[in-house]
Structure 1
Amino acid sequence: MAEPRHLALPSFARRPSVREEVANVLRGAIVSGEMRPGELYSAAGLAERFGISATPVREAMLDLGQQGLVEVVRNKGYRVTVLSEADLDQITQIRQLLEPTATAEAVPHVTDEELVALRGLAAAIVDAAAEGDLVSYINADREFHLRLLTAAGNPRLVRIVADLRAQTRLYGLSALVASGRLVDSAQEHVEMCDLIAAGDAKKLKKLMTTHLGHTRREWAGRPPE
C-alpha cells in the first residue's frame, strides 16, 4: 500500500537494534506531526522507505501500540492515535507537576561525565533545530530530558514521563523552523546545562517550567492567548 505522502525518515539498513531504532524514529515522527492521525501507514511501505524488511517495522509498531501511539487497522495497516485538545492539556499538566521538581532534584546527582553527555545532546538538539530535522530534534530532546531525570534516581517517574512525552503532539514545530524560532527554543537546553554546572536547581526548575509551557503553546501550533 502506498504511503499518503513523503515522510522525512532516514534509512536503517545495516544498523544494529533496528526494532528499537525504528520505534524511536516513528515515535519522533508521530510527536512532530510527520505522521498524522487519520492516515494509514503500512509496515511494507515504511520498511521500503527505511531499506529494511517489514518484520522490525511490525515489531516497532507493536511497541508503539502498547504505548497507545498507534492502533492496528485490520488488513490495512496502522493509524496514529487521535488525541483531543483536552487530552493534550491533561498530559502537559501532569508533566508540569512532575518534571520541573524532579529535574531540580537531579541537579546534585549529575556527574561531570553525565553533564558532558547532556551538553552533547543539547548541541544535537540545536543542530537538528537549525537543520529543520524534526525527527532528530524530537529524539535528541527526549533522550536529553529522560537522561536528566534519570539522575534523580526514580526510574518509575522516568517511565511515566517517557510515556507522557510519547503522547505529546508538537504540530507547531514546522512553523517554528520556517520562522527560525525553533533554534531559540533549542538553546534552552544549553541554558539548562549551564544551570546544572552552576548547581542552581531553583533557576533550573523555573526554566523547565517555562520550557514545558511551550509544549501547549507555540510548539503545538496553538495561537497566543
Structure 2
Amino acid sequence: MHGEPVRPARHARPREVKQPERHSVRGQVLTALREALLSGELAPGVVYSAPALAERLGVSATPVREAMQRLVSEGAVETVPNRGFRVAECSDRDLAELAEIRLLLEVPSVLETARTMPPECWESLRPYADEALAVADHGDRAAYADADSAFHRALLELTGNRQLVAIATDIQRRTQRRPAPAVRSLRTEQLLRDAADHVALLDALRVRDLTTVERLMRAHVTA
C-alpha cells in the first residue's frame, strides 16, 4: 500500500470502542476505505487483500470483506479470485457515460418538480449546501464526497420518487472517483467551485428560473 496507512474516519476509532456492534465496525471500515480510495492511497489497478487491509485498520477481515463487497456493488473495486480486490480504474469514457445518465435522470426530474414545488420548499436544502461549502473550504475530498452526496440526495428526494433517488445516488457516488488535482490548493478550489454550484442552483430554484436551473445542472453534472 502506498502513502500513509489507511485510517478509519476521524470520528471512528475501532480499537478504542469496547465490544462495538458489528454494523458499527462495518460502517467505520467502509468510510475508511472510501476515504482511501478518494485520496488515492488505494491506487487504481492495485490488488489488496482483505487480511492486509484489516491489519492496517485494526479490525478482523470479515468487516473489511463486507465493506469491499459493498464497494464492488458501487463499481469502485473488483473481486480478484484467491487474491483480494483490485481498485477499479475510472476512464474518461466511464465518467462521460455516467454524466450522460445523470443528465437524463436528474435534470428533467428536478425541472418537473420545480414547476409545481412552492419556492420556499427549496430552502429546506440550504443547510446541505452550507455544509458542503464549509467542508470544501477544508479541502477534504472524502468529507466533501459525503456532503455532496447528501445535497444531491436531498434534492432528488423532493421528487418523491424513491427509485430515482436510489439509482441516482449510486451513479453519483461512482462519479466521485474522478481524479483530483495533486496540489491541495487546487483541490480545494475545485471543491469550492462545485459547492458554489449548489448555492446558485437553490437560488435559481427559489425564484423558479428554470432556464438557469437547467443550465446550472448540466454544467454541474458534466464538470
1:191 to 196, 200, 203: 200
Alignment correspondent of 1:218: none
CA apart distance, 1:34: 4.8
Alignment correspondent of 2:99: 92
For the residues of structure 2 that align with 1:31 and 1:58, how far apart are their CA atoms? 19
CA apart distance, 1:162: 2.2
Structure 1: where are the runs of 5+ without partners?
Answer: 215-225
Alignment correspondent of 1:203: 212
For the residues of structure 2 that align with 1:131 and 1:191, how far apart are their CA atoms? 20
Alignment correspondent of 2:180: 172
1:144 to 122, 130, 151: 151
Specify the SS of the correspondent of 1:79. strand
- Indicate yes or no: 2:159 matched with 1:161: no
For the residues of structure 2 that align with 1:179 and 1:139, how far apart are their CA atoms? 16
- Indicate yes or no: 2:74 matched with 1:67: yes
Specify the SS of the correspondent of 1:131. coil
Distance 1:55 1:8, change over 3 A: closer
For the residues of structure 1 that align with 2:118 and 2:50, how far apart are their CA atoms? 40
For the residues of structure 1 that align with 2:118 and 2:56, how far apart are their CA atoms? 39
Distance 1:45 1:104, change over 3 A: farther
Q: Which structure has the larger Rg?
A: 2
TM-score (norm 2): 0.77
Specify the SS of the correspondent of 1:181. helix
Alignment correspondent of 1:10: 9
Alignment of 1:116-155 (within 5 A): 116=124, 118-155=125-162
The answer as to whether partners of 2:78 and 2:85 remain within 8 angstroms in 1 is yes
2:189 to 181, 194, 199: 181
CA apart distance, 1:144: 1.0
For the residues of structure 2 that align with 1:172 and 1:106, how far apart are their CA atoms? 32
For the residues of structure 1 that align with 2:64 and 2:76, how far apart are their CA atoms? 14
Specify the SS of the correspondent of 1:72. strand
Q: Per-residue displacement from partner, 1:128-169 (whole Å, max 9, x unpaired)?
A: 222111001111111211221121122222222223223223
Which of 89-98 and 18-27 deviates more? 18-27
CA apart distance, 1:32: 6.1
Specify the SS of the correspondent of 2:197. helix
Percent identical: 36
Letter in 2 for 1:10: A
For the residues of structure 1 that align with 2:221 and 2:113, how far apart are their CA atoms? 17
Which of 179-188 and 57-66 deviates more? 179-188
For the residues of structure 1 that align with 2:36 and 2:180, how far apart are their CA atoms? 13
Specify the SS of the correspondent of 2:85. strand
Q: Per-residue displacement from partner, 1:177-206 (whole Å, max 9, x unpaired)?
A: 436522133211122233333344442222
CA apart distance, 1:61: 0.9
CA RMSD, Structure 1 to Structure 2 (Å):
3.1
Number of aligned residue pairs: 211
Specify the SS of the correspondent of 2:137. helix
Structure 2: where are the runs of 5+ without partners?
Answer: none
Higher relative contact order (CA 8 A, sep 6+): 1
Alignment correspondent of 1:221: none
CA apart distance, 1:207: 0.9
Distance 1:54 1:199, change over 3 A: farther
Letter in 2 for 1:136: A
